[in-house]
Amino acid sequence: MTNNTNTALADVLRHSFGFSTFKPNQQHIIESWLSGTDVFAALPTGGGKSLCYQLPALIRDGLTVVVSPLIALMKDQVDAARENGIPAACLNSSQDADTARAVWRELAAGKLKLLYVSPERLAGDDFRSALVDFGATAFAVDEAHCVSEWGHEFRPEYRSLSSLREIFPEAPIAAFTATATRVVQDDIISHLGLHDPVVVRASFNRPEITYRVRRKTKVESQILSFVREHEGEPGIIYRSTRKSTEKTAESLRQYGIDAHAYHAGLDDTVRSDVQERFVRDELQIVVATIAFGMGIDKSNVRWILHGDLPKSLEGYYQETGRAGRDGEPAEALLLWGGQDIAIIRRHIENMQIREEQTAAEGRVREVLHYVEGRVCRRTALLAHFDETFPGQCRACDICLNELAFDDATVPAQKLMSAAVRTGEVFGTHHLVDIVTGTATDKVLERGHNTLPTFGVGEDRDRGYWISLARDLESGGYLLRRQTDTGLPGGLMLSSRGKLLLRGKETFTVLRREGVPAESSGTHGAPDKAPLRRDQQDLFRCLKALRKTLARERSVPPYVIFSDKTLRVMVKNRPTDSQALLRCHGVGDRKLEAYGEVFLRTIRNYLTTGQCE
């Protein structure tokens, strides 16, 4: 790209989107795609994916088609694009006939630069032929991990996208995802037929999110305590079942907290209303199964709480990533207990295909290693995406020293001794039976009640020993044998475990008692100067104005301005157009549409100390 092109891109970024600089990797992706090169981009949530295909659509000749599975999100994306002056529209099954016909007319007249469609729509031969006639010149595949069978949200209809290359051989294709291991990346590139693509793998680190993990005690009380610490802040609570979402939502409402359940068993109109109210800042909390969130582009979600153990680290990362998309501090709390594991494993046992069982079991083990580990949460989470992080992030419970640990070297040696004396072929529960002195039929039949280790741990309860076994496994001291069925078998010592057994290493475990499970706090988040009291008052004025304008225009509030932009206004206190234009997120289009009313509100507050 020439200097003139770089200047042109900077001008469009400033005047259409209101940003003075690109986020990391954005300019490289945009320049590569505009040059006609295929692109694979793995960018974390909040990394600015949408700008990577919206800005080129303004510059490129012809129509840019964005393939997205998120029908619920399409209208919001179109509204946001139009607010920035991009002629955009969508076609999906939720539209009425009149709306769809209006879009077809705009396409036929060549008035659109950006069109959002579902993969099901794009699979139709007639529709693809129409795109040829309408001059489609580029394709962006969003949520591209849905292409891969190795991803956590595989959608078979995405496979039909493989024929795009045949029908549009000259059109560059860009694949975007916020979550992809290298295996998934290779699968996406192969199935979409990307030709020698520019590959961008941004860091998956979300420094604005503080991660915490706590054992469940009284889960509803823990949730209530956490929510009260975040009074008035929008957040999402994930629960594993429909029943638990409704129970938690009802429990919070009894304490005057605005929360509603969202799950696939609810009527479509109810779900749609909950989502709409949440996006428009009219509902503080959604309590949901994993069915909620993928179609949410709400930038000011301040926290995510998992009330149950997630089934995969990839899903957990995706769900926590829905917080802090505006770059402001956010928090993620995960509550879990032994019952969660039992429920997930019962589900795995009911799977009919062995490969699915093996894969699901592997995902559960990864999650357990994460929640039971003693290393920086970021180090463990990013390792899943083949990314190395040195630790000491100052924004997780481990690095903030919020958790207390006890020396468990001797108990660990007792449990591992039982494994060695029984041939390293038995699982956790049998070994725990031995050390706790539980004379089960299986123990008696094998004569394990005569071992020196029988009953050496009867001073501690069974839960302690089961947790200790998991800690040893997550720490790499115990390994699982693989059986002929492909499922994990008994526990065996690793080379590191043998050193521990011989007293060459020590072993610590998270203290199970004495640490309040509901404690979370907000210290350790990225260094963002809090608003002073007078700034908070002005911030509330601007949020109220934004909400009024959003209701009048039937768009979500963040489409008007993000929370981050409002905070910049509050701190800069612009009183004229040029000063407002210098605020992050204010471009020419939004200055024209909203500048005067926001400036009037700011000037009035500075004069009277009151909202209008």
**Which CATH number covers residue 569?**
1.10.150.80
CA atoms of 319 and 206, how far apart (whole Å): 12
What span, in angstroms and rounded, lies between the C-alpha atoms of 206 and 567? 20
Q: How confident is the model at residue 345 (pLDDT cuts 50, 70, 90)?
A: confident
Q: Are 375 and 424 within one domain?
A: no
Looking at residue 454, its pLDDT comes to 93
Are residues 218 and 178 part of one domain? no
Choice among 52-66, 143-157, 426-440, 522-536 with the minimum mean pLDDT: 522-536
Query: Residue 50 domain-assigned?
Result: yes
| pLDDT exceeds cutoff 70 at 415 | yes
Question: Can you give the residue range of the structural domain that contains 241?
Answer: 209-383
The angle formed by the CA atoms of residues 557, 559 and 564, to the nearest 5 degrees, is 80
pLDDT at 594: 94
Mean pLDDT computed over 7-24? 90
* Of residues 307 and 344, more confidently modeled: 307
Residue 268 pLDDT grade (very low, low, confident, very high; cuts 50, 70, 90): confident
**pLDDT band, very low/low/confident/very high, at 514 (cuts 50, 70, 90):** very low
User: Can you tell me the mean pLDDT for 473-488?
Assistant: 70
Q: What is the mean pLDDT of residues 384-404?
A: 88
What pLDDT is recorded for position 554? 86
In a shared domain, residues 171 and 224: no
**Whole-number Å distance between alpha carbons of 90 and 118:** 9
Residue 591 exposure: Cα atoms within 13 Å on the Cβ side: 21
Over residues 190-196, mean pLDDT: 92
Look over the chain and give the mean of its residue pLDDT values, rounded to a whole number. Answer: 87
Average pLDDT over residues 388-398: 90
- The long-range contacts involving 495-501, CB below 8 angstroms and separated by at least 24 positions, are 497/416, 497/472, 500/409, 500/412, 500/413, 500/416, 501/413, 501/416, 501/417, 501/420
Contacts of 478 (CB under 8 A, 6+ apart): 416, 419, 469, 472, 491, 492, 493, 494, 497
pLDDT for 3 equals 58
CATH number at residue 426: 1.10.10.10
pLDDT score at 53: 94
Both 59 and 172 in a single domain? Answer: yes
Cα dihedral sign for 319, 320, 325, 326?
positive
Residue closest to 194 by CA, chosen among 165, 166, 168 = 165
| Structure-model confidence comparison of residues 268 and 581, the more confident one | 581
| Cα gap 85→42, rounded to integer Å | 27
Residue 515's pLDDT band (boundaries 50, 70, 90)?
A: very low
Does 229 or 374 have the greater pLDDT score? 229
Asked if residue 164 and residue 35 are part of one domain, the reply reads yes
The first and second tokens of residue 343, run together, are 């429920």
From 383, 418, 449, give the residue that closes a domain. 383
Q: Per-residue pLDDT for 153 more than 70?
A: no
Q: Say whether both 265 and 184 belong to one domain.
A: no
Residue with tokens 């044998």: 481
Distance CA(579)–CA(373), nearest Å, equals: 49
Q: Which residue has the tokens 């129409």?
A: 130
Place of tokens 């295996």: 183
- Same domain as 592, residue 443: no
Helix-, strand-, coil-residue percentages of the chain, each rounded to 5: 50, 15, 40
Question: How far is Cα 289 from Cα 143, in angstroms, rounded to an integer?
Answer: 19
Quick one: what percent of the chain has pLDDT higher than 70?
Answer: 92
Asked if residue 111 is part of any domain, the answer here is yes
Q: Is residue 400 part of a domain?
A: no
Percent of the chain with pLDDT over 90: 50
Lowest mean pLDDT among 56-65, 111-120, 140-149, 275-284: 140-149
The total domain count for the chain is 4
DSSP, collapsed to helix, strand or coil, labels residue 211 as strand
- 201, 231, 249 - which closes a domain: 201
Same domain, 232 and 371: yes
What are the φ and ψ backbone dihedral angles of 179, each rounded to 5 degrees? Answer: -155, 110
Same domain, 97 and 181: yes
What CATH number has the domain bearing residue 7?
3.40.50.300
516 inside domain: no
pLDDT above 50 for 522: no
- Picking from 174, 201, 228, the residue at the C-terminal end of a domain is 201
Q: What letters, b where the CB count within 10 A reaches 16 and e where it falls short, cover 217-255?
A: eebeebbbebbebbeebbbbbbbbebebbbbbbebbeee
561: burial class by Cβ within 10 Å (0-12, 13-18, 19+)? buried
Q: CA-to-CA distance for 26 and 174, rounded, in angstroms? A: 13
Place of tokens 């601007």: 542
Say yes or no: 56 and 74 in one domain: yes
Q: Are residues 433 and 375 in the same domain?
A: no
Residues 323 and 183 in one domain: no
Query: Would you say residue 152 has pLDDT above 80?
Result: no
Position 521 scores a pLDDT of 38
- In sequence order, the 6+-apart residues with CB closer than 8 A to the CB of 180 are 42, 144, 145, 148, 151, 188, 385
Give the pLDDT confidence of 539-554 residue by residue, as tens digits. Answer: 999 999 999 999 998 8
Question: What pTM was computed for the model?
Answer: 0.68
Residue 151, SS3? Answer: coil
pLDDT tens by residue, 558-570: 889 988 899 999 9
DSSP 8-state code for residue 314: H
